[in-house]
Structures are given as C-alpha cells and as structure tokens.
C-alpha cells in the first residue's frame, strides 16, 4: 500500500486554517495509511474489467491481496495488464490469490462469454465481478458523433450488462458455497458521481452512468432471492489517466478543488478498499446501493456559501 509522507509544515498550518482557506499548494498531501489486509476473499475468484490501469488496477491488486484469484481483463495494453498481475502477486500478503490477464472487449458478447469460460477453466468458478471498464469520448452535444455516443454506451453500459448477465448465469448454476461466502455471488458496478450529477459536454458518459444506476438496481431486485448482491461504487475525481487534465497542473488542481469539499483528489485505493469490503461477507446485507466515494462532490459544494 502506498503511504505518502505527511507534510508536517502543512499539517501545522491546518490546525489554524480551514482546509477551504488554504491555497492549493498548501493543501496537505494524502496520507494513505497502510491498511491491515485480511484474507476476507480467500478461495473466491474475481473478474475485474478494465484492470490494466487506474481504478480497475487498484481494485484488482486489492482483491488479490485479500485472497481472491483475479482475472485482470484488458483490451489494448497487454504489457500493462501483465504489470497489474505482477503487482498483485508481489504484494507480500501471505494469503494472496493468483492473477491472470485475459483480453476481452466487454462490449462484445462472444468475447465476454469467452472471458468467463477462461476464468472458470482456470479457477473453477467466478464469485465476484467488478464491472469497471469504461471510457470517455467528450464533445459538445452538437459536435458529438453517433460513433462517440455509441462507443461510450457500448463499453460503459452494454459492457456492464453483458458481464453482469454472464456472472448471474454462473452464480445461479453454482449456488452458494458456504465455505467461501454466504452469498452466491457479488457484482460491483463502477459508476460515477455522474450517475446523479449532470455533465455538460459529456452527455454520452453521463447517460451511460445514469443507465448503470437503474440497470444495477433492477438487476439487484431481480437476483436478490438467489442471494446475489449487486451494488455500485460511484467515484468522484480519482487520480487516474482518464481525468489527467483535471489534476495534472496546479491550475487544473485548484479548479478541481472548488468541486470537492474535502479538498483532495481521490486515490485508486480509496475505491479499492471499499470494493474489497463490499465483496466480503461483512457487507452481506448491502444490495442495490450506490455508494459514493467522492470527498463530498455530490454535496452541491456551490451551496456552502450560496443559496
């Protein structure tokens, strides 16, 4: 786990100033405490889509550390997927699982079925699916092409549908294995704050995330009687390649902080830790929920002083 050194001089300033009143350059570094890794997913197999970078990579590494065998799904960058697998299997956790990269386009029905077949062949079954693969193709409405609209809906929404469908088929076929989990299976949809926050210039992306919300809840309602849990994690701004332009320069970071009451960008581990817990039996009574991990981005920050 990454632990960044606390900036002591900044910490001193924090005691006398509200975070809101600090300049971006004075904001404290994120101190991500090393968490105690417990093997809460031992004996289970997870598929993480889009796991070669960003949030997917963070989740794959964390699930593996918690004992799960992990299929590292990717589409284009085999070397990056290998790197995720390497990181996952060299985490130093004695109860860690195995990790294997599998290429598949989540928007392609037969490729998704092929990925599940490979996972089942290698690890015996699938217990957890993290529907993470997603992309942005931004444009003002009048300039957005039909191809851009379709691409984003195909990957972000149809891809999650296809993987959820295969997951439910496998969970029902196999049923509950009491020795590993009290649920027959868990699906976690990686949505976004934009399942509720409208986003000008990103109509395809926001529509895909709004769609994930109702897809997730409808599936959750349908499969709950089989003891299958389906939830969403809704990240805010997380430091990953998808939104590099929003955090990479001090000016961009300052502007981003206006949207985040907690005054820091999120890190992939912020999402990964919730994903591990949500898939564990400690979260057994949670289904159909959208859990926001966003430093308060959905709290209408403009109303802190206005209204």
Q: According to the 3-state scheme, what is the secondary structure of the chain?
A: CCCCCCCHHHHHHHHHCCHHHCCHHHCCCCCCCCCCCCCCCCCCEEEECCCCCHHHHHHHHHHHHCCCEEEEEECCCHHHHHHHHHHHHCCCCCCCCCEEEEECCCCCHHHHHHHHHHHHHHHCCCCEEEECCCCCCCCCHHHCCHHHHHHHHHHHHHHHHHHHHHHHHHHHHHCCCCCCCCCCEEEEEECCHHHCCCCCCCHHHHHHHHHHHHHHHHHHHHHHHHCEEEEEEEECCECCHHHHHHCCCHHHHHHHHCCCCCCCCECHHHHHHHHHHHHCHHHCCCCCCEEEECCCHHHCHHHHCCC
Question: Which segment (119-127, 241-249, 275-283, 299-307) binds ligand BGC by CB under 6 A?
Answer: 241-249
Q: Is 205 a catalytic residue?
A: yes
Q: Can residue 242 be called a binding residue for ligand BGC (CB under 6 A)?
A: yes
Task: Tell me phi and psi for residue 65, to 5 degrees.
Answer: -60, -30
Nearer of residues 215 and 237 to ligand BGC, judged by Cβ: 237
Site for ligand BGC in 132-151 (CB under 6 A): 136
Please say which residue, 136 or 148, places its beta carbon nearer to ligand BGC: 136
* 160 interacts with ligand BGC by CB under 6 A: no
CA pair distance 55, 48, nearest whole angstrom: 10
Q: At closest approach, how far in Å is the CB of 299 from ligand BGC? A: 13
User: Does the protein bind ligand BGC through residue 236 (CB under 6 A)?
Assistant: yes
Residue among 11, 62, 57, 60 nearest 35 (CA): 62
- Shortest Å, Cβ 238 to ligand BGC: 7
CB of 37 to ligand BGC, least distance (A): 27
User: How many residues interact with ligand BGC (rule CB under 6 A)?
Assistant: 9
Report residue 34 CA to chain centroid gap: 19
* Out of 246, 286, 289, 299, the residue judged to bind ligand BGC by CB under 6 A: 246
Q: Which span sits near ligand BGC by CB under 6 A: 12-20, 101-109, 121-129, 240-248? A: 240-248
Binding of ligand BGC by 266 (CB under 6 A): no
Choice among 74, 205, 262, 285 that is catalytic: 205
Shortest Å distance, C-beta 85 to ligand BGC: 24
Looking at residues 170 to 209 of the shown chain, list those that interact with ligand BGC (rule: CB under 6 A): 192-194
Residue 153 found at the interface with ligand BGC (CB under 6 A)? no
Task: Supply the minimum distance, in Å, between the C-beta of residue 212 and ligand BGC.
Answer: 11
Nearer to ligand BGC, 101 or 235 (CB): 235
| CB of 95 or CB of 137, closer to ligand BGC | 137
Positions annotated as catalytic residues are 205
Residues in the site for ligand BGC, rule: CB under 6 A? 136, 192-194, 236-237, 242-243, 246
């Amino acid at each position: 786990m990454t632990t960044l050194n606390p900036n002591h001089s900044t910490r001193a300033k924090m005691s006398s100033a509200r975070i809101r009143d600090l300049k971006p350059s004075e904001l404290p570094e994120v101190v991500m405490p090393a968490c105690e890794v417990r093997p809460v997913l031992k004996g289970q197999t997870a598929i993480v889509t889009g796991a070669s970078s960003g949030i997917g990579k963070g989740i794959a590494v964390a699930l593996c550390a918690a004992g799960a065998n992990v299929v590292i799904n990717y589409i284009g960058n085999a070397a990056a997927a290998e790197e995720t697998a390497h990181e996952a299997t060299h985490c130093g956790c004695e109860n860690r699982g195995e990790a294997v990269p599998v290429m598949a386009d989540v928007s392609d029905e037969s490729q998704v079925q092929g990925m599940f077949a490979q996972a089942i062949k290698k690890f015996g079954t699938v217990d957890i699916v993290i529907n993470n693969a997603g992309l942005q193709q931004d444009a003002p409405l009048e300039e957005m092409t039909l191809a851009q609209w379709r691409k984003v809906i195909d990957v972000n929404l149809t891809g999650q549908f296809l993987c959820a469908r295969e997951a439910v088929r496998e969970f029902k076929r196999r049923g509950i294995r009491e020795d590993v989990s009290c649920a027959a299976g868990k699906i976690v949809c990686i949505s976004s704050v934009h399942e509720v926050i409208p986003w000008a210039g990103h109509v395809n992306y926001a529509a895909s995330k709004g769609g994930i919300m109702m897809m997730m809840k409808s599936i959750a309602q349908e499969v709950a009687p089989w003891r299958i849990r389906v939830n969403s994690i809704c990240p805010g701004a997380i430091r990953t390649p998808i939104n590099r332009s929003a955090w990479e320069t001090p000016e961009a970071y300052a502007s981003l902080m206006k949207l985040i009451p907690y005054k820091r960008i999120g890190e992939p581990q912020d999402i990964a830790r919730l994903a591990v817990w949500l898939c564990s039996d400690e979260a057994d009574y949670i289904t159909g929920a959208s859990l926001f991990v966003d430093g308060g981005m959905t709290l209408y920050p403009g109303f802190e002083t206005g209204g």
